[in-house]
C-alpha cells in the first residue's frame, strides 16, 4: 500500500477527527439512525436479519484484520505499532470467538448473491482507500467504522436486548478494549502530518465508508 503526504506540512488547525464527522454530518446522522441500528436499539430486529448480519460482519472481520495488519506495517511510531497490533490480535481472537458462538446460537443463514454483493461494498471501499492513500486512509476507515459503533451502541446499551447474542454484541462496543481503541484511532488521526488536500481526501473517505456501512447493514434485509 502506498503512503502519501504523511510527512509533509500539517493539515489545517483543529482536530481532524472532529472535522471528519462535522464535514460528513448528514451521512453520519443517516448511519447512526439506519434501520438496523433502530431495530437493534428497540429489540425488534428479526432473527434471520441478525443472523445474516452476523455472517456478513464475520466476513468483514477478515478485512478489518488485513487493514490492521497493514497499519502495523506502516505505523509511524512504536506506540502506533503496538496499538494496531493489539487491534489485530483482538480481531482474530475475541471477535472470531464471538461470531463463532453467536452463529452457533442463531444458525448460519442462507444468503443470496444480491445480499452478498451489497455487503461486499464495504470491503471494496476500505481496501481501495487504503491502497490509494496508505496509512492516513487506513486509520480513517477504521475510525469511521469504530466511532460509528461506539456512538450507536452507546445508545442501544441503555435498553439491552432480551437475546444474549444481540445484547453481548452491543455491550462489546461500549467497554474496553473497544473504547480504548477508538480513542487510539482518534489520536492517530489527529497526529497525522499531511497536506491540506490529503486531509480533504480523508474527509471524502470518511463519508464514503459511512455510506458503505449503511449499504452493508441494509444487505441483511435483502432476500
User: Strands, DSSP E only, in 24-113?
Assistant: none
Taking residues 196-214, report their average pLDDT: 98
Reported residue count of the chain is: 223
pLDDT in tens, 69-118: 999 999 999 999 999 999 999 999 988 999 999 999 999 999 999 999 99
pLDDT of residue 11 exceeding 80, the answer is no
Mean pLDDT (the chain) is 93
CA–CA distances in Å: residue 196 to residues 6, 135, 199, 202? 11, 16, 5, 10
Handedness of CA 75, 80, 83, 87 (dihedral sign): negative
Predicted pLDDT at 168: 93
pLDDT in tens, 111-143: 999 999 999 999 999 999 999 999 999 999 999
- Phi first, then psi: give them for residue 80, nearest 5 degrees: -65, -40
Amino acid at each position: 500500500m502506498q503512503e502519501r503526504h504523511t510527512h509533509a506540512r500539517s493539515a489545517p488547525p483543529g482536530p481532524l477527527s472532529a472535522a471528519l464527522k462535522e464535514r460528513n454530518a448528514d451521512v453520519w446522522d443517516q448511519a447512526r439512525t439506519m434501520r438496523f441500528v433502530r431495530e437493534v436499539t428497540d429489540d425488534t430486529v428479526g432473527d434471520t436479519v441478525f443472523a445474516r448480519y452476523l455472517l456478513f460482519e464475520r466476513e468483514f472481520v477478515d478485512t478489518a484484520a488485513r487493514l490492521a495488519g497493514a497499519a502495523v506495517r506502516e505505523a509511524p511510531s512504536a506506540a502506533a505499532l503496538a496499538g494496531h497490533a493489539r487491534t489485530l490480535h483482538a480481531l482474530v481472537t475475541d471477535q472470531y470467538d464471538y461470531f463463532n458462538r453467536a452463529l452457533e446460537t442463531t444458525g448460519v443463514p442462507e444468503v443470496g448473491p444480491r445480499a452478498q454483493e451489497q455487503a461486499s461494498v464495504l470491503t471494496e471501499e476500505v481496501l481501495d482507500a487504503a491502497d490509494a492513500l496508505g496509512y492516513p486512509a487506513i486509520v480513517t476507515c477504521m475510525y469511521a467504522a469504530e466511532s460509528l459503533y461506539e456512538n450507536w451502541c452507546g445508545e442501544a446499551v441503555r435498553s439491552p436486548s432480551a437475546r444474549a447474542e444481540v445484547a453481548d454484541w452491543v455491550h462489546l462496543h461500549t467497554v474496553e478494549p473497544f473504547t480504548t481503541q477508538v480513542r487510539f484511532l482518534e489520536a492517530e488521526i489527529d497526529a497525522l502530518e499531511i497536506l491540506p488536500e490529503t486531509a480533504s481526501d480523508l474527509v471524502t473517505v470518511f463519508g464514503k465508508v459511512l455510506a458503505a456501512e449503511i449499504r452493508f447493514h441494509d444487505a441483511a434485509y435483502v432476500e
